[in-house]
Structure 1
Amino acid sequence: MTSDSVSTDDAPPSYSEIFVRGCVNAKTQIFWDIEDFPIPDGLDPKSVCQKIKQGLDFRGDVSISAYYEDKTVPEEVLDKYRDARITLHPYGGKSTRLDNMILDILLWSMDNPSDYYHPLNLVVISRNISKETLLNNVLQSCTWTEYNVVVVLPDNFASQGMPPLPGVNSSWLWKSLLDGGEPIDQSLIDPLVDPLELVDLSRDPTFYCEVCDGPRPTGLN
Structure 2
Amino acid sequence: MPNPTRNWDETSSGVSMPDPPRNWDENTIFWDVEDWSILKDLDPELVVEKTFSHLNDRGYLRSDTSIEAFFDDDIPDNLLYAYTSSGMVHLPVAKGNKHARLHRMTVHILIWAHHHRPCPSNLFILSENIQEDKQVASVVKSLNEKPFYNVVLVDSRSLLADCRLSPTKQWICDCCGVPFKKTYLDCPRPPPHSPYQSRRCSLSISKEITIWTTKSTNNIITSNPLKRF
User: Shorter-chain TM-score: what band?
Assistant: 0.5 to 0.7
2:125 is the counterpart of 1:124: yes
Counterpart Cα distance in 2 of 1:103 and 1:52: 23
Segments of structure 2 that go 5 or more residues without pairing to the other structure are 7-17, 165-229
- Aligned positions of 1:140-151 closer than 5 A: 140-145=141-146, 146-151=148-153
Cα pair distance change 1:103/1:86, threshold 3 Å: same
Structure 1 or 2, whichever has the larger Rg, is: 2
AA aligned to 1:20 is P
Q: TM-score, normalised by structure 1?
A: 0.55
In the alignment, which residue of structure 2 is the partner of 1:28?
27
Cα gap change, 1:36/1:124 in structure 2, threshold over 3 Å: closer, same or farther? farther
Whole-angstrom CA distance in 2 between matches of 1:175 and 1:154: 6
Unaligned 5+ runs, structure 1: 1-14, 156-172, 180-221
CA deviation map 1:24-83 (0-9, x unaligned): xx1211111223584483x42222111100001141122321111121x21111001211
Aligned pairs for 1:39-54 (under 5 A) are 39=39, 41=41, 43-54=42-53
Q: d(CA) in 1 for partners of 2:70 and 2:137?
A: 18
RMSD: 3.0
Q: Which has the higher contact order (CA 8 A, sep 6+)?
A: 2
Higher helix residue share: 1
Maintained 8 Å contact 1:52/1:177: no
TM-score with structure 2 setting the length: 0.53
C-alpha distance in structure 1 between counterparts of 2:85 and 2:156, whole Å: 26
Q: Percent identity?
A: 31
- For residues 56 and 40 of structure 1, do their structure 2 counterparts lie closer, same or farther at Cα, with a shift above 3 Å needed? farther
| Contact 1:55/1:178 (8 A) holds in 2 | no
Task: Write 1 or 2 for the structure with the bigger share of strand.
Answer: 2
Match of 1:164 in 2: none
Does the 8 Å contact 1:34/1:67 carry over to 2?
A: yes
Partner of 2:81: 79
Are residue 174 (structure 1) and residue 174 (structure 2) matched? no
Cα distance in 1 for residues equivalent to 2:129 and 2:43: 24
